[in-house]
Amino acid sequence: MIISLLNLEKNKTAKIIEIEGGPGFHKKLESLGLRLGVKIKKLSSSIFGGPVVIRVGRTNIAIGKGMANKITVEIENKI
């Protein structure tokens, strides 16, 4: 299933497949370790507001909802 990072459920793992935005936005995300093909895990719930917290490798990162909405992910299917 393909959705925006903002809509990914808490504690779900997904792979980044698309990033909308200009070169500056891409550069900012790359500096945080977020690029195409990277697997992430969403740690926060989007219900109550606040930033979107994700784990990339062993690092936790908080990004704004607007940024998270521009990142498209594919949910990993656990069998």
Write out the residue range of the structural domain in which residue 43 sits: 2-75
Does the pLDDT at position 38 exceed 80? yes
CA distances for 10 relative to 6, 24, 52, angstroms: 10, 28, 10
User: How many separate domains does the chain show?
Assistant: 1
| 10: its two tokens | 């808490």
Residue 77 confidence class, pLDDT cut points 50, 70, 90? confident
DSSP character string of 8-65: SPTT-EEEEEEE-S-HHHHHHHHHTT--TT-EEEE-S-SSS-S-EEEEETTEEEEE-H
Please check the confidence at residue 44 and state whether its pLDDT lies above 80: yes
Identify the CATH number of the domain in which residue 10 sits: 2.30.30.90
pTM of the model as a whole:
0.91
